[in-house]
Structure formats: structure tokens, C-alpha cells
A and B are shown apart, each in its own frame.
Chain A
Amino acid sequence: MTSLLRPKLSGGNSNRRSALPSREALYWIAPACAVIIFIFGYSIVNLITQSLRYDGDWVGFENFSIVISDPLFLVALRHNLFLLSAVPILVLIAFILAITLFETRRGMRFYRSAVFLPYILPIPVVAVIFGQIYQLNGVLNTFLSSIGLDFLIQDWLGDPDIALGTMGSVIIWKEVGFGVILMLAHLISLPTETYEAAKLDGAGFWRTHFVITRPAIKTTLIFYAVIESITMVSWVFNYVYVMSNGLGGPGNATMVSELYIYRMAFQNNAPELAAAASVFLFAITLILLVAFFKIQRRSISKTFRS
């Protein structure tokens, strides 16, 4: 089924088409580019100028030094880092589920849909459901005490030491299905000879998949890890906002950088500081992306180009 979107011919390079005039391309590209330049270009330029000003006056890097010495911003960043550290766990769970599903025939469609369902649920909905589940006298604790595991009962969302971990578990719960689907679709598209050879050699389940499958779907694993890393750094607002009623609590236990920026701009009325924090966040995202591809010794363009 993946063949649907793959090149039907190995072709597609542009040299053959060089006879066509290049100006015509502009008419096709211009409308989309106008929207993109207007929104992204305007925002990024405006954000940077705003981060260097206060009340319209040029203040150099003062906003940045204020933000970087704000303990709350550092706490927020540390929380994003903590969530980032969950990415390997997320990739591993998704990988194990994908290969398990791949080896399964009977009921595969049911299990696949079940695992994928959390991914299509709206985040506010997820946050509200888990809010009920994780409450002190909520569904999880009721369940634990009914099966005699009272010692495991925690104030999942109220205890500052574990609230962020609880939040992380909700994000994993929701995001894992996306990885499973990505990996599964890639697995199905692999030539079967690879596995048959391994099976003939008598390789077992884990050996087959960690030695053969893992490298074979490496691009998908990297793609998923990159997407999820970016999610953990800059897309967790929805979870935190809904589950902590917009406060990042208990205390500041679930404060993250997006919520910090949001509150700086719209509650503390300090858009300049929020702009400086946004520039930091943007820079971190870019560094993360570049670092990731450096580690993988792959260029960004190579992964994203067909």
C-alpha cells in the first residue's frame, strides 16, 4: 500500500525538463509562497526586532539577559529537556509494537486501529480524560485499590515530583500510535527475501528485528525521532495547558517554555520578554535539528529530498 506514494519510475530529476521556461514556475509557486512569506517571514523578522526593543526603544540584548536569568524560564526549559529524554523510550515502544504487529496475522487490523486511536483524539480531550483518570480519587487509584495494589496509589497530578512524569506518560500514550503506523507501513514495504534469509539462518525474533529490521527502517526511525523531539520541545502546550488549567502546576512542576511564553505575553504583559524567549526556543529547535542530523551523519536535505 505504500507503493501508492512512491516513485513509479526512478526518474524525477529536473535536467530532462530544462527545456521549459523557468518563469512559468513562478505563477504556480507564487500564491503558496506569498502566504508562507507573509506569515513566517513577517513573524520571524518582527519577533527578532521586538526581542531587541523595550517600549519601542532599542535595548540590544537586554531582554535576552533578563529572560535567561529568570529561574522560571530555566525551569521551563529543564522540563522540556526532561520530556525530550522520553523520546528514546517512545521510539523503542513504537518499534517493539510495530514489529509485533508486523508478525501478527490474526486480529492485526483490530490491534493496529486500537494502537492508532489515541493519535487521532484531540489533545484537549486526551488531557481531560487523563485528568479524570489520574486524580487522587480518580479512575486509576480506584482501580489500583480494587486489585489490592494500594501501595502504588499516588497523587499523580498533584505531587510536584511526579506531575511532569505523569504528563510525559500521557504524551507517550498519545504519540506512540503515530510511530507504530509509520514503522509498520515501512516494514510492509520491505522485500520479504531479507527476512527469509534470516529465518533460514535460524535467527530468532529479536535478533532478526534488531539486526535486520532496525537498520532497514532507519530512515523512518530517524524521521519519527526528529518529529517527536520537536514535539517535546515546542508542541506540548496543549497537554500542559489543559491538564494544569493553564497554570503549569502544581507549583511550576509542569511549566514548559511555550506556556512561559504564552503567560509572559498575554498575562504578564511583557511581549518583549516573550519575544526574547521565543527566539531562544526557535534557536534551540534549530540547534536540535542540526545536531540530530550531525549525529546521524546525514544532511537534512538528504532525508527530506526524494
Chain B
Amino acid sequence: MKKNTARKLPIAATLRYTLLSFMAFMALAPVYVMVSGSFKTQKQFLDSPLSPPSGFNLGGYKSAWSDSFPTWLLNSFLIVTFSVILTLALASLAAWGFARFPFKGKESLLAIIVSLMVVPPVVLLIPLFKLGVTLSLISTLQIVVFIYMALMLPFSIYMLTNYFKSIPESIIESASIDGASTFQIFRIIVLPLSGAPIATLAVVNLLWAWNELLLALVFLQSNEKKTLMVGLTGFQSRYSLDIPTVMAGMSLATLPLVVAYLFGQRYFISGLTAGSTKGE
């Protein structure tokens, strides 16, 4: 069907590729400016921001890395790792509870949890900050991990519940007949079947937590506890005259995400759809 169209309407195909090339250019040009800028000297960037770098000038990377960059990177890494793993653990337990057992008010409870997805994070900011001050948890990684968990749980529970419900009853039934407990069924049958949605959630949550700025900005005030995003935001104003350093810092901050995306790409794309195409 597609070949046909292409043969009959070469103009249409040309238009398509023109549109796509334009869009790819629009999407890639800023990334190109960032990566090429990181290898330039200040003068090269100002003279010709769009030309390719004349050599691999690593000065920008050196000064970006020598700042508090490694500390921020470690903080981001710790926060993301703990919050994502804990979220996935609690969400899969809860989702199994929702998918497996009938109980009164189940649908309403699930609906409430799902609707929490739309609560603006800024709404949580003031009460939690006060609480954080009272418990002296400001500038600790724990409080941020905990808040991130709460913000990531609703979507995670929703997606996993949908998935667990789709596991054929017969598989679970045969295990129950063999005398497996609910927990054994969960661990031996359900979890191994759910690699794809769990990997998707891991990537989605990882992207979100790595990029989150508002809560991290408010709760992590001392420089040793800042995440990469908070650090870089201040970084920009401090090095505003040193573009290669800023661009090098930005390139370094992006790299982990590109790697995570490439690893999880297969699951990620299909998994994102699960939330939207349901309910037909």
C-alpha cells in the first residue's frame, strides 16, 4: 500500500521528506549547538556559533568538571536510583493488590490515586518545606527521595495495575492449584512476566526524577547536596560569560539520559502508549 502511494505520488513523498528533514533539523540543531559549542573556545563560539569546532578543545569540559560537578552528579545518581527502585517496588506490590483482589471501594481508591497525577508539584512545596524544617530534613537527600516517590507512585501504580490485570487468569489459576501462595505467584509468575512495563516505568521515572528542578531547588539548599539540575541552573549564571564551559556541563548532564534512553528505547516507546490507548 505504501509502495503504491510512493509510485503514484512522488510529490507527496518529496513533501513528506521535506517536512521530516525540516523537523529533524529543528530538533537536532539546538543539540548540535550545545555539543559543538562545548568543544569550541569562547571566541570561536561567538564568531561562528554554527560552524563545526575546529578541534577538540577540552577546556570547557575541564572547567565544568572541576567545579562541584562530580558531587552534583553523585547526588542526582543517588536520588534517582533510590527513588526509582523504591517506587517500582511499592508500585508493583500495590498494583498486584489492585489487580488481584476485589474489595469495597477499590475502583474509587484507584481513581483517586490516578487523579493525583494532575496535582501541581508547587502545591506540595510550602507544606512540605515547613515539615522539612520542623524535622530538620532540609538539604538531605532522603526527603527528596521520599517526595519523588510519592509523585511517581500514582502513574506507576496505574500502569502496572493495567498490566497485571491483563495477565491471563489461567496461568495464575494453575499456579494456585499447585499450592503456590499469593506472594509466590507474584514473585515467580507475575514479576518475570512484567519485565517490559517495569523497564518502561524505570525509564519514564528516571527521566522525570533526573530532570526535576522545582522541588530539588527548594529542598536541597547546601551546595554539597544539590542535584545536577539545581547545580547547573546556578552554573549558567556563574559562567554566563564562558559559553564552552556551560555547554560542556550541559552535554555531560545530558549524556546519562541519552544512554538510558538508548537502553530502554524498545520498552519505553511501547510503554508510554499503555497509558493513553487504554479505555477504548
Chain A interface (Cβ < 8 Å from any Cβ of B): 1-2, 4-9, 11-12, 14-18, 20-22, 24-29, 31-33, 35-36, 38-40, 42-44, 46-47, 50, 96-97, 100-101, 103-105, 107, 110-111, 114-115, 117-118, 120-126, 128-133, 138-139, 142-143, 173, 177-178, 181-182, 185-186, 189, 192, 195-196, 199, 205, 219-220, 223-224, 230, 233-235, 237-238, 241-242, 245, 257-258, 261-262, 265-266, 271, 274-275, 278-279, 281-282, 285-286, 289, 300-306
Q: A5 touches which one: B99, B102, B162, B233 (CB < 8 A)?
A: B162
**Chain B positions within 8 Å of A303 at CB level:** 279
**Chain A positions within 8 Å of B207 at CB level:** 120
Most chain B beta-carbon neighbours within 10 Å: one of A2, A44, A130, A306: A306
Known contacts being A5-B163, A262-B122, is A121 close to B113, with CB within 8 Å? no
A17→B101 CA distance, assembly (Å) = 7
Most chain A beta-carbon neighbours within 10 Å: one of B228, B229, B236: B236
A32→B160 CA distance, assembly (Å) = 13
A104→B6 CA distance, assembly (Å) = 10
**Chain A positions within 8 Å of B85 at CB level:** none
**Which of B24-32, B52-60, B61-69 binds A?**
B24-32
- Does B2 sit at the interface, judged by CB under 8 A? yes
B94 touching A115 by the CB < 8 A rule?
no
**Chain B positions within 8 Å of A143 at CB level:** 50
Chain B residue at minimal CB-CB distance from A259: B122
Q: Majority SS of interface residues in chain A?
A: helix
Q: B102 touches which one: A18, A110, A117, A220 (CB < 8 A)?
A: A18
> What range describes how many residues of B lie at the interface?
35 or more
For window 226-244 of chain B, which residues contact chain A by CB distance below 8 Å?
228-229, 232-233, 236-237, 243
B272 touching A182 by the CB < 8 A rule?
yes
A185→B27 CA distance, assembly (Å) = 20
Additional 5 contacts, C-beta under 8 A, given A4-B267, A103-B2: A29-B94, A36-B116, A126-B30, A138-B49, A289-B115
B34 touching A124 by the CB < 8 A rule?
no
Known contacts being A36-B150, A271-B126, A306-B278, is A115 close to B27, with CB within 8 Å? yes
Q: B23 touches which one: A6, A16, A115, A233 (CB < 8 A)?
A: A115
A199→B12 CA distance, assembly (Å) = 15
- Selected A-B contacts with CB under 8 Å, 18 pairs: A4-B267, A16-B169, A24-B101, A28-B93, A44-B123, A114-B27, A120-B257, A123-B229, A129-B33, A130-B30, A181-B269, A241-B217, A257-B122, A262-B125, A265-B125, A286-B118, A302-B279, A306-B279
Q: B250 touches which one: A4, A128, A189 (CB < 8 A)?
A: A128
A224 touching B276 by the CB < 8 A rule?
yes
A306 touching B93 by the CB < 8 A rule?
no
Output the least CB separation between A96 and chain B (Å). Answer: 8
Output the least CB separation between A232 and chain B (Å). Answer: 11
Chain B interface (Cβ < 8 Å from any Cβ of A): 1-2, 4-5, 12, 16-17, 19-20, 23-24, 26-28, 30-31, 33-34, 37, 49-50, 90-91, 93-94, 96-104, 106-107, 109-111, 113-116, 118-131, 146-147, 149-151, 153-154, 157-159, 161-163, 165-169, 182, 196-197, 200, 207, 210-211, 213-214, 217-218, 228-229, 232-233, 236-237, 243, 246-247, 250, 253-254, 257-258, 261, 266-267, 269-280
A185 touching B273 by the CB < 8 A rule?
yes
A124→B91 CA distance, assembly (Å) = 29
A182→B270 CA distance, assembly (Å) = 8
